[in-house]
Amino acid sequence: MREYERQILITNHGPAFPALLKVIRLPGSWYAVIWENPERYASFGQDRTELNGGFSHLSDRDFLDRVQLVSSFTQGIEFEEAL
């Protein structure tokens, strides 16, 4: 199991605003939360399938890019890492 925590900026819901991305990466699935506050957060994840090819072979950077892509498709949330 690997855990990731990144400060991010949500970029597609008006002016950019800060949030926290937390991800748990397991061998066959992953789960993520984008957290702004207790009233405003989104959770999502992905299981390994033959179609998506899994993610155990991905580097950390490629894996986090996948999380970003799934966030955009499933939640309509686009973000970038905060500097």
- Copy the structure tokens of residue 13: 């819901």
Structural domains of the chain, count: 1
At 81, is the pLDDT very low, low, confident or very high (cuts 50, 70, 90)? very high
What percent of the residues of the chain are helix, what percent strand, and what percent coil, each to the nearest 5?
A: 20, 45, 35
Mean of per-residue pLDDT scores for the chain: 94
CA R_g for the chain: 13
Name the strands in the sheet holding 17-25, side by side, starting at the edge strand that comes first in the sequence: 40-47, 29-37, 17-25, 2-10, 79-81
Confidence of residue 76 (pLDDT cuts 50, 70, 90): very high
Determine contact, residues 48/29, Cβ cutoff 8 Å.
Answer: yes
> Looking at residues 22-31, what average pLDDT do you find?
96
What range defines the domain where residue 32 resides?
A: 2-81
For residue 53, give both structure tokens. Answer: 């090819």
**49-60: pLDDT as tens digits:** 999 889 989 999
**8 Å CB contact between 10 and 21:** no
- Predicted confidence band of residue 1 (pLDDT cuts 50, 70, 90): very high
